[in-house]
Structure 1
Amino acid sequence: MPEMRFQIEWPDGTQETCYSPSLVVKDYLAVGETYSLEEFVTKIRAALKIASDRVQAKYGFPCGLALGQLKEIESKAMGYRDLPDPKVRAIQFIE
């Protein structure tokens, strides 16, 4: 199963490299696009859930790294919810 990383920029300008055990993130994010914080979290939640499910289908257990990455993203996103119109930008895919 091809894993990948994807780099994002949070509303405060900090950048983060995130993990996915599947290329499915490419179906949900586009490099260079900017998303509202809520839309980004919704898209990443769907993508990482699918990625984890693919690992479960292949190996018999969900992907702890994908689920952990999702929890990390959701937690960090909570810190930006009070900003006026917070945005997240997809910077690049790293395969």
Structure 2
Amino acid sequence: MPEMTFEVRWPDGAVENCYSPSLVMHDHLTVGGSYTVAEFIDRSTTALSEASDRVRAKYGFACTSAAATTHQITTSAARYPADAHVDIVSMHPPL
């Protein structure tokens, strides 16, 4: 299963690298896209849940790394207002 990383820029300019065990993030986020914090949380946690489900289907167990990334994102996002914007800087590998 191909894994990927994606880099986000938070409203204060901080850049954070995130991990996904699946390329499914490309279905929910776009490089250069800007999302409100609330929308980013929704899109990324949905995608990471799908990624974990793909791992479960293939290997028989959920992906703890997807759960850790979900926690990382929600913890970071809690520092900002829901209507502030998060930018998707990069996604590797690209589609």
- TM-score tier (shorter): over 0.9
Q: Residue type matched to 2:56 in 1?
A: Q
Unaligned runs of 5+ in 1: none
TM-score (norm 1): 0.94
Alpha-carbon distance in 1 for matches of 2:21, 2:74: 18
Q: Name the counterpart of 2:90.
A: 92
Alpha-carbon distance in 1 for matches of 2:31, 2:72: 21
Correspondence 1:51 to 2:34:
no
Per the TM alignment, residue 33 of structure 1 is displaced from its structure 2 partner at its CA by 0.9
Unaligned runs of 5+ in 2: none
Q: Name the counterpart of 1:28.
A: 28
| Alignment coverage as a number of residue pairs | 93
TM-score (norm 2): 0.94
> Deviating runs (4+, > 6 A) in structure 1?
none
Fraction of identical pairs, as percent: 46
**1:3-82 to 2 correspondences below 5 Å:** 3-81=3-81
CA-atom RMSD in angstroms: 1.0
